[in-house]
Structure 1
């Protein structure tokens, strides 16, 4: 049945639902003045989270879908880091108190492209402007090919306690096809440096659906990764959108696997990780049973944010850096995407917000449904409808797709409880999309459902 479902639904282009509404629906009617008002409404009673975006790499991986650029020089990075410190202070001043922070995440790009001194200064600036809780999670994304010993020591000194390493694939043919040559030995050395610095919580990122990738090469990569025993895996399907990311045009489309092969690769990776003792989290994350993410799943506390699945319960996410997205109780805000534009705004003591989205009551209702579907593979429509004073019968927007998923055995419904069927969890985005009131009028290009 899995192959039949993959063939039937796999070509659909759907959001990953790391937010609702999704980023293509942000608009320029939300500006700095709105963000300023929202920031001033934050109270210290509930901790917030911070995401910092570092849009620089030493080389471009052709599969990359992130906002980043290549630089061989350190000067632009130092200037940008100064902008991050400025924005962090500006946001803190706008809030008006020393806001407690429970999570900090450095994303990119390659955050560790900064010099050790620059990174330590930036974390120090955050600690000065905000009250970073003693047990806060401080996470950083790392390119194992470029991590140095001094940088690993700076990470440990700065209180970093979780690192996410890009692996993608250890197959040399695949690595050549995506312009990312990374040996197992390089990755092992990176792990050794991090653990020596006291950073024991480790995540690996893997991709399937890459050019020349096969089930066997996926399994070989997983076997090597398991030797290093990270706490978590994120396993994403490659999203080929060359109209949006021009460097992806360097990838030979004829070498890309079709939906059936992608599904087989995803299944093989998932089965291998589960066999190795990892717990499946949602549809694309895996964690060891003792990991906080696995515990949150067991206790029904799993959440979804722009990094994927999380145990972070904060309702406020402060986005810092070019293109960063923040989430406030009132809505989303996004900073200027171009680095030059971003730096000009913060240098002028202006919030860098250029667009966003203000939630409606209908958005809140649908966001709750979609988050539970994505996290639990099931949703109790009656319970959520009662909490929003809504009729559960109004929840489904795309009734044709919804009924099709039920008829094909991918989804079951009993009373108002809707669940993904065993073996069909890989189509959870298809189910989530049936509750999306914005999707039909979106012109955005999304990744394939499988």
Structure 2
């Protein structure tokens, strides 16, 4: 790798699961604005629902999620009750009812347990209309899955599960604060399939402390042997200024830019050799999987859950810190449980921040989404489609200079294409179109 490419790999950039990104949300958008936006949704609108459960039995050292350790049962019952009230409040605020997608995240949402999960799913079904093609997904910790949970998930309508695998090497697991033997994941997969839950995703990570190229290859091969439908392969984001428990990680044990690139490429080669198609920056799927089909047809999307086939008109968030995306802009829920609960109990939408889209936000967001999903975009055509002059985003071209000089991207007229070698740098290409980066500084993880 050239010194210029190495410098690029060490630069930070947003993950672009939204545009504008969350650090630029403000308190100018609150409950009143949220209520107005929700009321303006069409009764025919397609909805996607995200439910956040901010609890884990213990905090993994590498984790950057909004969660906290919990070992008592009472707070889970209280959280469930408030979640039910928020569902009722949300349904009373919007005329939209048709749900195409549900996603449970966290934290560890399965900590609610079988009965609470079933109750929340039942109340959702009472207030919203589930589409026949509903995708109902949940993130799971393999160490906490047993037959009772798997059966409850199936009864609640869950039809896709995502397992946090990360790495199968004991020394890496110990360094990352998540010890989870291969046999635990193998048993978890068997339990899920026995309950009829066959659409299974694995999350893997590279760039973890003490991790090597050989380690990620071994992990990928063991994971392939369990035959999941999809993989998401994330680079560890070392953000100790945000996730303070990451300060326990020895930074000297973290891979440098060259090693991270080598690890990412090693996982890619291993999964592609096993028949999985690369999708976007960090996903892989069987060729007949809906996500692979969407990637080939140019209909892949990106939201706060990452790459998705979900094309809903609005994403509505429920629970602490969840984020909604409506046609008018983003809404962010209150980030602490106590204030979230008090807002819901007062029958007030628990929204504390957000951002109203400008026309330019929508256009630049469309450019960034296509770059992140397809690795190419005609940004002049996108500008024109949103009512701007074709040269409206030419200000990005100087910021692309190093990527172009290094052969990581190619520009023909206003069609920008990220090359195969440049795909790990796609976030940097996208950041060239981000008008907020220089205006308001925010700290992000490294781009590769």
* TM-score, scaled to structure 1: 0.98
1:285-304 to structure 2, matched below 5 A, reads 285-304=283-302
Q: Which residue of 1 aligns with 2:155?
A: 157
Secondary structure at 1:226 match in 2: helix
- Aligned residues of 2:63 and 2:246 also touching (Cα < 8 A): yes
What is the alpha-carbon distance in structure 1 between the residues aligned to residue 81 and residue 403 of structure 2?
Answer: 50
Segment of structure 1 superposing worse, 6-15 or 51-60: 6-15
What's the CA shift for 1:413? 1.2
What is the alpha-carbon distance in structure 2 between the residues aligned to residue 16 and residue 42 of structure 1?
Answer: 28
1:382-397 to structure 2, matched below 5 A, reads 382-397=380-395
What runs of 5+ residues in structure 2 fail to find an aligned partner? Answer: none
Secondary structure at 2:388 match in 1: coil
What's the CA shift for 1:400? 3.4
What's the CA shift for 1:369? 0.4
Q: Which residue of 1 aligns with 2:172?
A: 174
Q: Which residue of 1 aligns with 2:39?
A: 40
What is the alpha-carbon distance in structure 2 between the residues aligned to residue 283 and residue 96 of structure 1?
Answer: 36
What's the CA shift for 1:424? 1.1
Q: How big is each residue's C-alpha offset from its partner over 1:22-67, in whole Å with a ceiling of 9 and x where there is no partner?
A: 0000000000000000110111223110000000000110111110
Q: How well do the aligned residues superpose, as a CA RMSD in angstroms? A: 1.1
Q: Which residue of 1 aligns with 2:215?
A: 217
What's the CA shift for 1:405? 1.3
- Aligned residues of 2:43 and 2:95 also touching (Cα < 8 A): no
Alignment size in residue pairs: 448
Q: Which residue of 2 aligns with 1:18?
A: 17
Match of 2:399 among 382, 401, 424: 401
- Aligned residues of 2:48 and 2:102 also touching (Cα < 8 A): yes
Q: Which residue of 2 aligns with 1:91?
A: 90
Secondary structure at 1:79 match in 2: helix
- Aligned residues of 2:396 and 2:433 also touching (Cα < 8 A): yes
Q: Which residue of 2 aligns with 1:307?
A: 305
Q: Cα distance 1:318–1:328, how it changes in 2: closer, same or farther (>3 A)? A: same
What is the alpha-carbon distance in structure 2 between the residues aligned to residue 213 and residue 6 of structure 1?
Answer: 22
Q: Which residue of 2 aligns with 1:339?
A: 337
1:68-83 to structure 2, matched below 5 A, reads 68-83=67-82
What runs of 5+ residues in structure 1 fail to find an aligned partner? Answer: none
Secondary structure at 1:440 match in 2: coil
What is the alpha-carbon distance in structure 1 between the residues aligned to residue 255 and residue 376 of structure 2?
Answer: 30
Does the alignment pair 1:421 with 2:415?
A: no
What is the alpha-carbon distance in structure 1 between the residues aligned to residue 185 and residue 390 of structure 2?
Answer: 49
- Aligned residues of 1:6 and 1:263 also touching (Cα < 8 A): no
What is the alpha-carbon distance in structure 1 between the residues aligned to residue 295 and residue 389 of structure 2?
Answer: 28
What's the CA shift for 1:398? 4.4
- Aligned residues of 2:380 and 2:393 also touching (Cα < 8 A): no
Match of 1:368 among 341, 363, 366: 366
Q: Which residue of 2 aligns with 1:51?
A: 50
What's the CA shift for 1:183? 0.8
Secondary structure at 1:394 match in 2: coil
Segment of structure 1 superposing worse, 439-448 or 16-25: 439-448
Match of 2:125 among 115, 124, 127: 127
- Aligned residues of 1:293 and 1:311 also touching (Cα < 8 A): yes
Q: Which residue of 2 aligns with 1:106?
A: 104
Q: Which residue of 2 aligns with 1:354?
A: 352
1:215-254 to structure 2, matched below 5 A, reads 215-254=213-252
- Aligned residues of 2:383 and 2:392 also touching (Cα < 8 A): no
What is the alpha-carbon distance in structure 2 between the residues aligned to residue 422 and residue 166 of structure 1?
Answer: 28
Q: Cα distance 1:397–1:245, how it changes in 2: closer, same or farther (>3 A)? A: farther
What is the alpha-carbon distance in structure 1 between the residues aligned to residue 299 and residue 22 of structure 2?
Answer: 24
What is the alpha-carbon distance in structure 2 between the residues aligned to residue 59 and residue 201 of structure 1?
Answer: 27
Q: How big is each residue's C-alpha offset from its partner over 1:149-205, in whole Å with a ceiling of 9 and x where there is no partner?
A: 111110011110000000111111111111101011110111111111111111100
- Aligned residues of 1:397 and 1:437 also touching (Cα < 8 A): no
Segment of structure 1 superposing worse, 422-431 or 99-108: 422-431
What's the CA shift for 1:391? 2.0
